[in-house]
Structure 1
């Protein structure tokens, strides 16, 4: 029999299944003053991580996604085909979304890395709880600036994470190590190969027509201007270019490396 989760139950269940969103909740929930039974989410950046992982995990918890945003119409249209999102409002500009969707409780950010900090800042300034995909920022300085802003909004929940550190295997590993069952851990080895997209290659000398529906200049944002090239930057392969991502270290290694620190 289907059940509708309360906001409090959502938080408990999210932690249990490893979605990595347990901190995202309305400011009044701990006092038991929830205005409705479900959280309202806005999702910004409708690439593979958002469509393939974050949205399905929210769906398991029966939460409502009321708005989506992406500068690529193809990705917006693809997201709107997902069950539960057909009635969501689609936006091209995250600023317009934040201006118009005043009833949204929380924002989930799954854009290319170079957009994380600007959108996190805008969401916090709009009074929204924020969950941002890893890596949170491009530099320690950016992280510190974002931390300072988040601290100035104490009623807003903020979190960054990834599915790797939230899976059952990782969580069980933490429990075993922290219990002392393995004794004192003095050394940890973690590695990951570079793969999945171009690494250490030269910038293409050629360019291609910008696909219809893609706002390439908006996609670039604050990154240095460069011509569009099919299958080199967007979708997905931007991680191999520091202007947009951080290579394997920022994309894959953070899944395993954080185990040593936790």
Structure 2
């Protein structure tokens, strides 16, 4: 352990952090010419696609700006949003929004996961700023398309991993990157949520899941009057409406619409080690869990990623656990049994963290430990950071360059699970090199009338 009055080994200063951030952001974000020198009191003209649930929250968080367009396939959501933003034009199909609206500066996308890329790409191609909910896309190939389009656009982008703006995450990143627990060679991330396909009715009830789905239902339920079901399906294969998909987050269990807990909560929880350990593309991925189902993501499973050395950091293994799966050190009571958490294992100790707190372990070893002076500035707020970036060209911390790699990695966990094989990954070629079984999960086919180009 570092001496009490000495800075921890590899400590990064605030000045170094700001310099690094400036260099990184310069390569991924350049403010459009029309915004340079703009009066910061000017309001952005924002179109919001998806205005119910999380979309309603995102709309509220950008309502300090001019809301010029609202879009939702659910007329009920659209009507409620229009009551507060009566001046905004209303749309059910976001393709029509892009056809008919040109005087906008930015877009907020909060649709279901399987349409994220389709709602995001036209705005980037038009040189607009974009805030998109997590996960960034439904597939690895879509994440690559969106990340590269964002780089080409040079506009302000942000993925909706709101916890990334929290002070606790920043302090944890500082501790790991300044060497508080030495060289980190293992990281473990677990969440207790067990939503998906359950092995028994008892497991479903114990998980407090909200829908018991074991197979695709053959029967159709009446389509809710307020819902345009065909537009909700979008690029996904056609199927009759059933209430196991809608309303609420029921859809995320189904491979055609989402990627289960792995891409949902993984976007938030894997974000912390991804940031702290400077991760990008894994070299290999291997998963464990129940026999994969063709239609539905699992309630419980785990994935291990192998990463090579990065800058001054050694190779590291990162393991994700969801539902009933937990790290061995957790089940053996070797650490506090937090319901969800991130454990970093270094050669000089361990760091356990969740959204709001962290602990250096073993505690007696760190009694006299002095944390480094904060060198990552506290956030002005996840949405506020994006709005400021739109107006000034300042960097965002969850821009699509960072979020694109995080999304690819999370999706690779599901690919390994669904393939049932250890995967060796060539990120440059976006290809699994040791088995052809994975190719079908890298890129998906789209329903007639939907293209991503």
| TM-score bin, normalised by smaller chain | 0.7 to 0.9
Deviates more, 1:226-235 or 1:238-247: 226-235
Work out whether residues 51 and 59 of structure 2, in 8 Å CA contact, stay in contact via their aligned partners in 1. no
For the pair shown, the structure with the greater C-alpha radius of gyration is 2
Determine if the alignment matches structure 1 residue 224 to structure 2 residue 226.
no
Taking the aligned partners of 2:30 and 2:93, their CA distance within structure 1 comes to 24
Report the equivalent of 2:75: 73
Determine if the alignment matches structure 1 residue 49 to structure 2 residue 48.
no
Report the equivalent of 2:146: 146
Where do 1:151-230 residues align within 5 Å? 151-154=151-154, 156-192=155-191, 193-195=193-195, 196-198=209-211, 201-230=214-243
**Please, what is the CA RMSD of the aligned residues?**
2.6
Determine if the alignment matches structure 1 residue 108 to structure 2 residue 108.
yes
The count of aligned residue pairs is 234
Taking the aligned partners of 1:135 and 1:97, their CA distance within structure 2 comes to 23
Report the equivalent of 1:247: 260
Report the equivalent of 1:97: 97
Work out whether residues 45 and 70 of structure 1, in 8 Å CA contact, stay in contact via their aligned partners in 2. yes
Superposition TM-score, scaled by structure 2 size: 0.47
- Whose strand fraction is larger, Structure 1's or Structure 2's? 2
Gaps of 5+ in 2: 1-27, 196-208, 276-453
Work out whether residues 210 and 250 of structure 2, in 8 Å CA contact, stay in contact via their aligned partners in 1. yes
Work out whether residues 49 and 71 of structure 2, in 8 Å CA contact, stay in contact via their aligned partners in 1. yes
Work out whether residues 213 and 244 of structure 2, in 8 Å CA contact, stay in contact via their aligned partners in 1. no
Taking the aligned partners of 1:255 and 1:211, their CA distance within structure 2 comes to 32
Taking the aligned partners of 1:235 and 1:159, their CA distance within structure 2 comes to 24
Gaps of 5+ in 1: 1-22
C-alpha change, 1:35 and 1:100, in structure 2 (3 Å) is: farther
Higher relative contact order (CA 8 A, sep 6+): 2
Determine if the alignment matches structure 1 residue 27 to structure 2 residue 26.
no
Taking the aligned partners of 1:24 and 1:131, their CA distance within structure 2 comes to 14
User: What is the CA-CA distance between 1:47 and the residue it aligns to?
Assistant: 2.6
C-alpha change, 1:178 and 1:35, in structure 2 (3 Å) is: closer
C-alpha change, 1:199 and 1:257, in structure 2 (3 Å) is: farther
Superposition TM-score, scaled by structure 1 size: 0.79
Work out whether residues 28 and 34 of structure 1, in 8 Å CA contact, stay in contact via their aligned partners in 2. no
Misfit runs of 4+, over 6 Å:
23-26
User: What is the CA-CA distance between 1:261 and the residue it aligns to?
Assistant: 1.4
User: What is the CA-CA distance between 1:104 and the residue it aligns to?
Assistant: 1.1
SS at structure 2 position matched to 1:183: coil
Taking the aligned partners of 2:218 and 2:211, their CA distance within structure 1 comes to 15
